[in-house]
Amino acid sequence: MPYDIRTLADRAAQKIREGHNAPHAINSAIKDVAASSEEKEMLRSDIARELNKRSQARKRKKKRKEKERLEEEIKQTLRDARHAGHQRRDHLLLDP
């Protein structure tokens, strides 16, 4: 009987958000599943893999957003410096 790993991972993630540690949350998510001990072990590893995949995706997204924010901040700083130079009429000076 196939089990929906994402649904079970969602249950485990909810438990983790409530403050439980990951192994307890995973066990809690599969406690109602009627399966043999080998199948439950496979489910545990599959759920842990899914939770890890989600965590890695969150980290990648956070890193990408931080990089984009930093690039935009640098662009704005350059725009401000260029504008200040025009206000001081630096663009009219000859190069030394």
Confidence (pLDDT) at 96: 63
Domain coordinates in residue numbering, the chain: 5-92
Q: What is the pLDDT of residue 8?
A: 95
> Phi/psi at 93 (nearest 5 deg)?
-75, 150
Q: What digits encode the pLDDT tens for the residues 38-71?
A: 999 999 999 999 999 999 999 999 999 999 999 9
pTM of the complete model: 0.74
Cβ atoms < 10 Å from Cβ of 42:
13
Tell me which residue of 26, 54, 51, 52 sits closest to 40, measured CA to CA: 26
